[in-house]
Amino acid sequence: MTDAPKPSNFLRTIIRDDLAAGRVSGVVTRFPPEPNGYLHIGHAKSICVNFGLAQEFGGVCNLRFDDTNPSTEDVEYVDSIIRDVSWLGYAWDGEVRYASDYFETLYGWAQHLVREGLAYVCELGPEDMRQYRGTLTEPGRNSPWRERPAPESLELLARMRQGAIEEGRMTLRARIDMGSPNLNLRDPVLYRVKHAHHHRTGNAWHIYPSYDFAHGQEDAIEHVTHSICTLEFEDHRPLYEWFIANLPVPSRPRQYEFARLNLSYTITSKRKLRQLVEEGHVQGWDDPRMPTISGLRRRGVSPGSIRDFVERTGVSRSDGLVDLGMFEYCIRDDLDKNAPRAMCVLRPLKVTLTNYPEGQHNELLVMAHPQRLDLGQRVLPFSRELWIDREDFRMEASKDYKRLVLGAEVRLRNAYVIRADEVVRDAAGEIVELRCSYDPDTLGKNPADGRKVKGVIHWVEASRALDCEVRLYDRLFRDAQPDAGERNFLDNLNPDSLQVLAGCKAERSLADAALGQTFQFEREGYFCRDPEPAANGQVVFNRTIGLRDVWSEAGKG
């Protein structure tokens, strides 16, 4: 994949035209998550779109929590969302906002609708309400309480608020049109009774507004100019506009919809993500295999690569499936440019340089990044005993094998040419050590006699190596559409999505790596330091992504 120009964005055109025509004097957008779970890559697109457009046009974006369902919400989710938005590089306007900030105003507007004959208290239960609602091909039927006098509805609404009505017995509904072809206009529910403790308002309220009733009015209160949401809310737009037209709101926002991000090999359903966590298929919401922003952060994915990916996918009104390989390309491209280099041996095999002086320790100075002088240099200890990767040695060579072979030479990355002279085996016949010789005249140059050395392998000096645990993460699902059709998405879990390698050997300098810092482990891939140590106290490195797209190469993607 090569660098591509940024795709067009129809929302940019709308905002540019609105500003040019004077329909708005400034741009105000908002990101309104429900605090009932952790944000995922799909939410990241909405964050980037809303905050990005506001930035682009010199406007502001509000962070507002739609905390209207206390039974599913938690401060843990609020805190995680605030952290995620900040980590992605965005700053909201003013203080964090909440739907609960406006509960009193919304209640007053509900009373206004009742007084205007545009809302009523209904006593249909949930099942009867579904029956009365009708279908896509059949109109709904009026509730028996649709003509309830306004004073009676106002009195019942007050009792609902006070907690005098049990859950499920009454709702407040808008009086719109039970024959509308749009089901959202068939007298939608504005308030439900819910005796649940709210994380901000405590037990002050016993009724909570529906999302449809709350979010448009919140937009109006905050003078939002462009209320941008995903396509599943397109059919809700007439209701959004009905509320704005029939309430004494201080401004008149407009709603616009774009296609949500659908990513192959990925689940973004909150319910299914919660199932993965609660059933122990992953190790938490921030498991590096999860598509949550916290999981991506723990895996070592950078905010810049996510923003780049969102920009490349574009903003359109057509749903489609984006290849996960495109996201992985953005991750690799970012890390290739920015991640310092280091060496880590995942499957250690001891090497003794028999002609290197015993007790002598040298230090080799190498670039931290081959193209980034600003990242400085790093020190590589070197001595008689080293570690190399077990997979980098064979007794006999094959045609395409360009690593160390008994009796042949290979170059140590950033160091000398060595030759494998002898193997040492244990009682079971397993190779446990290589006895090699090194050419002291090959540091940074080819052998003087013109010998051709084709292979290069990585290594770590033994006495000062950092013992660590490495976790090799891969795609969580084997199928590009793990929950398509009637299939159980759990049947498509990739059993090889995590391999834990203990006893790995890394450069000693990595002991000082910051939590979450990402490196390219040369010849292995990109890895970041996990915020938690292993069970034995050792440093843990998570594989962010491999150096190549092995899924496409293997015909899997």
According to the model, what pLDDT value does residue 397 have?
Answer: 82
254 is catalytic: no
Q: Examine the domain organization and report whether 279 and 220 are in the same domain.
A: no
Residue 396 lies in a domain: yes
Answer whether residue 553 shows pLDDT above 80.
Answer: no
Q: In the structure, what pLDDT confidence band is assigned to residue 48 with cuts at 50, 70 and 90?
A: very high
The CATH number of whichever domain residue 520 belongs to comes to: 2.40.240.10
Q: What is the pLDDT of residue 554?
A: 61
Residue 260 designated active-site: yes
> Which H or E run includes 238?
helix 237-246
Q: What confidence category does residue 557 fall into, taking pLDDT thresholds of 50, 70 and 90?
A: very low
Please report whether residue 445 resides in a domain. yes
Boundary (domain end) residue, out of 440, 464, 488: 464
Residues 73 and 102 in one domain: yes
Read off the pLDDT band of 450 (50, 70, 90).
confident
C-alpha closest to that of 510 among 472, 546, 540: 540
- Residue-wise pLDDT for 162-172, tens only, equals 999 999 999 99
Q: Which of 451, 54, 403 is nearest to 225 (CA)?
A: 54
451 and 477 share one domain: no
Look up the domain containing 147 and give its range: 10-258
Residues 56, 153 share a domain: yes
| pLDDT value at residue 533 | 95
Please tell me whether residue 199 adopts helix, strand or coil conformation. Answer: coil
From 468, 471, 440, select the one nearest 348 (Cα to Cα). Answer: 468
148 in catalytic set = no
Residue 127's pLDDT is what? Answer: 94
Say if residue 293 is in the same domain as residue 246.
Answer: no
> Does residue 3 lie in a domain region?
no
- Of 431, 464, 497, which residue sits at a domain end? 464
**C-alpha 380: how far from chain center:** 35
| Distances in whole angstroms, Cα of residue 154 to Cα of each of 106, 148, 174 | 14, 10, 13
Per-residue pLDDT, averaged over 499-521, amounts to 95
pTM: 0.92
Query: Are 47 and 184 members of one domain?
Result: yes
Single out the catalytic residue among 141, 260, 350, 390: 260
Q: What is the pLDDT of residues 19-35, one digit of tens each?
A: 999 999 999 999 999 99
272 membership: H or E segment, kind and range: helix 270-278
Please say if the pLDDT value at position 297 is more than 50.
yes
Q: Which of 34, 241, 385, 433 is catalytic?
A: 34
Q: Are 459 and 478 within one domain?
A: no
Domain contains 274: yes
Binning pLDDT at 50, 70 and 90, where does residue 283 land? very high
In this model, does residue 556 exceed pLDDT 70? no
Query: Is there a domain that residue 72 lies in?
Result: yes
pLDDT score, position 398 = 82
What is the pLDDT at residue 448?
Answer: 83
Candidate list 186, 192, 270, 403, residue with the active-site label: 270
In this prediction, residues 362-379 reach a mean pLDDT of 94
pLDDT digits (tens, 9 = 90+) for 343-357: 999 999 999 999 999
CA proximity to 269, closest of 477, 556, 474, 472: 477
Residues 87 and 172 in one domain: yes
**Which of 258, 284, 313 is the C-terminal boundary of a domain?**
258
Residue 529 tokens, joined? 């330091």
What CATH code is carried by the domain that includes residue 180? 3.40.50.620
Q: Are residues 429 and 399 in the same domain?
A: yes
Average pLDDT, the chain: 95
Instruction: Please check whether residues 122 and 229 belong to one and the same domain.
Output: yes
Cα–Cα distance list, 267 to 199, 201, 229, 293, 366 (Å): 28, 33, 20, 13, 42
In this structure, are 132 and 82 located in the same domain? Answer: yes
User: Is residue 4 a part of any domain in this protein?
Assistant: no
Amino acid 1: pLDDT: 46
Residues 351 and 333 in one domain: no
Is there a domain that residue 329 lies in? yes
Selection from 260, 267, 262 nearest residue 482 by Cα: 267
Tally of domains within the chain: 3
Query: Residues 254-281: pLDDT tens digits?
Result: 999 999 999 999 999 999 999 999 999 9
The C-alpha atoms of residue 434 and residue 437 are separated, in whole angstroms, by: 10
What are the residues whose beta carbons fall under 8 Å from the beta carbon of 36, sequence distance 6 or more? 69, 72, 73, 74, 77, 270
The token pair that represents 226 in the structure block: 């462009």
Q: Does residue 2 form part of some domain?
A: no
Question: Residue 138's closest CA among 189, 187, 183, 184?
Answer: 183
